[in-house]
């Protein structure tokens, strides 16, 4: 197995969120935010830590082209494009939809373009078969003489998850007696890695609706990361923040985003980190997280995705306070 390839400056900051803590009914000194949104590559976010390991493996195999899949607003795809730019490698992103679906596109697609990535539009594709489509794209690239390396959906392999074992170690060092680490659950590698460092009891995942069986996905990855049998039943996963579905704005998420922005000047996104915060807030309301328990919110990034989310953009602009003077 290969070494990781460093893509940023470590460790990321741990900041208190005193005003938000008090707004939620916690004590001011026991709610923290781990700023993985500030990771200094390509706009930041959790995917960089996973890419350090998968890209390290790609380099070890002599690859010259990184290939990955996701939704058109995938933060993972954008950061794969940035990593490729940093390393002088070609990047091919495999997205569902057609080139027309990019028209009027914004957010992550803008950055994919700036980083010089190519996009293969796969048409109407069942999400379950995107991996096979990407394998096919690799085959076509090989026929053209390229040496492609396929990074799985979300970078969530046991190898990629190692980046979050390291992040979990940082969290334990920065907040030694942490009792809850709250994180968005998408493709599962981030939560699985944290479990590798912190155990099942301390990690609370908030499902975002990116996969159909999130507990099974995280259990399988955690089992490989830890080398012991981690069962789906032992995991702390909240399923209550998916709402109408992955790409759709969920009302409690809009509230969590504006509460956090107004209390701390911190921006969350409607697909992942906003859902995680809405889940944290629900956990406090229900007594799953109580005062006098140190809690870390892992900020996984996603700001470009906010600007690519038309519903959230429209709602926010419509709610803008205007003042006038006569």
Ligand X SMILES: *Cc1c(COP(=O)(O)O)cnc(C)c1O
- Which of 30, 37 has the CB closer to ligand X? 37
Q: With beta carbons less than 8 A apart as the criterion, state whether 196 and 223 touch.
A: no
Task: Give the interface segment with ligand X, choosing from 45-53, 58-66, 250-258, 280-288 (CB under 6 A).
Answer: 45-53
Q: With beta carbons less than 8 A apart as the criterion, state whether 27 and 20 touch.
A: no
Q: Closest distance between ligand X and the C-beta of residue 249, in Å?
A: 15
**For residues 248-287, which are near ligand X according to CB under 6 A?**
269, 272-273
d(CA 50, CA 121): 24
CA-CA-CA-CA torsion sign (109, 212, 217, 136) = negative
d(CA 137, CA 118): 12
Residue 46 found at the interface with ligand X (CB under 6 A): yes
Single out the residue of 107, 148, 301, 308 in contact with ligand X (rule: CB under 6 A): 301
- Which of 234, 290 has the CB closer to ligand X? 234
d(CA 301, CA 14): 14
d(CA 243, CA 231): 25
Active site residue 74: yes
Task: Give the interface segment with ligand X, choosing from 51-59, 122-130, 279-287, 300-308 (CB under 6 A).
Answer: 300-308
Single out the residue of 12, 90, 157, 300 in contact with ligand X (rule: CB under 6 A): 300
Closest CA to 269 of 251, 252, 257, 281: 257
| Residues that contact ligand X, how many (by CB under 6 A) | 21
- Which of 111, 141 has the CB closer to ligand X? 111
Residue 108 found at the interface with ligand X (CB under 6 A): no
Question: How crowded is residue 123: how many other Cβ atoms within 10 Å of its Cβ?
Answer: 9
Task: Give the interface segment with ligand X, choosing from 23-31, 56-64, 184-192, 258-266 (CB under 6 A).
Answer: 184-192
d(CA 219, CA 300): 20
d(CA 237, CA 185): 8
The distance from CA 221 to its chain's CA centroid, rounded to whole angstroms, is 16
Residue 156 found at the interface with ligand X (CB under 6 A): yes
Residue 312 found at the interface with ligand X (CB under 6 A): no
Return the H-helix or E-strand segment holding 299: strand 295-299
- Which of 107, 302 has the CB closer to ligand X? 302
Q: CA of 297: how far to CAs of 60, 86, 161, 267, 289, in Å?
A: 34, 29, 18, 13, 12
Q: Closest distance between ligand X and the C-beta of residue 73, in Å?
A: 9
Residue 154 found at the interface with ligand X (CB under 6 A): yes
Residue 188 found at the interface with ligand X (CB under 6 A): yes
Of 2, 8, 74, 322, the catalytic one is 74
Residues 65-104, one symbol each (x = binds ligand X by CB under 6 A, - = not), give ----------xx----------------------------
Chain residues that interact with ligand X, rule: CB under 6 A: 45-47, 75-76, 154, 156, 184-191, 269, 272-273, 300-302
Catalytic residue positions, numbered? 74
């Amino acid at each position: 197995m290969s070494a990781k390839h460093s893509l940023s400056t470590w460790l990321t900051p741990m900041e208190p969120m005193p005003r938000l803590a008090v707004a939620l009914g916690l004590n001011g000194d026991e709610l923290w935010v781990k700023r993985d949104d500030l990771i200094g590559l390509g706009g930041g976010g959790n995917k960089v830590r996973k890419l350090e390991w998968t890209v390290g493996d790609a380099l070890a195999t002599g690859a010259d082209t990184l290939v990955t899949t996701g939704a058109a607003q995938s933060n993972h795809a954008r950061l794969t494009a940035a990593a490729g730019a940093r390393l002088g490698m070609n990047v091919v992103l495999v997205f569902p939809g057609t080139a027309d679906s990019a028209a009027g596109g914004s957010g992550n697609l803008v950055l994919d373009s700036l980083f010089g990535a190519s996009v293969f539009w796969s048409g109407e594709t069942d999400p379950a078969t995107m991996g096979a489509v990407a394998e096919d794209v690799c085959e076509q690239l090989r026929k053209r003489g390229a040496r492609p390396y396929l990074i799985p959906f979300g970078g969530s392999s046991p190898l990629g998850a190692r980046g979050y074992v390291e992040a979990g170690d940082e969290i334990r060092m920065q907040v030694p007696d942490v009792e809850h680490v709250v994180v968005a659950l998408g493709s599962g590698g981030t939560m699985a890695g944290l479990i590798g460092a912190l155990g099942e009891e301390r990690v609370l995942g908030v499902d975002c609706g990116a996969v159909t069986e999130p507990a099974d996905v995280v259990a399988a990855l955690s089992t490989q990361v830890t080398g012991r049998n981690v069962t789906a039943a032992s995991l702390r996963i909240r399923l209550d923040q998916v709402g109408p579905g992955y790409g759709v704005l969920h009302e409690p998420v809009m509230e969590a985003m504006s509460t956090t922005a107004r209390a701390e000047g911190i921006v969350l996104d409607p697909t992942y980190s906003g859902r995680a915060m809405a889940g944290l807030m629900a956990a406090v309301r229900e007594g799953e997280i109580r005062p006098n328990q140190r809690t870390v919110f892992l900020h996984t990034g996603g700001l470009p995705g906010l600007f690519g989310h038309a519903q959230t953009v429209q709602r926010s602009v419509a709610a803008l306070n205007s003042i006038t003077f006569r």
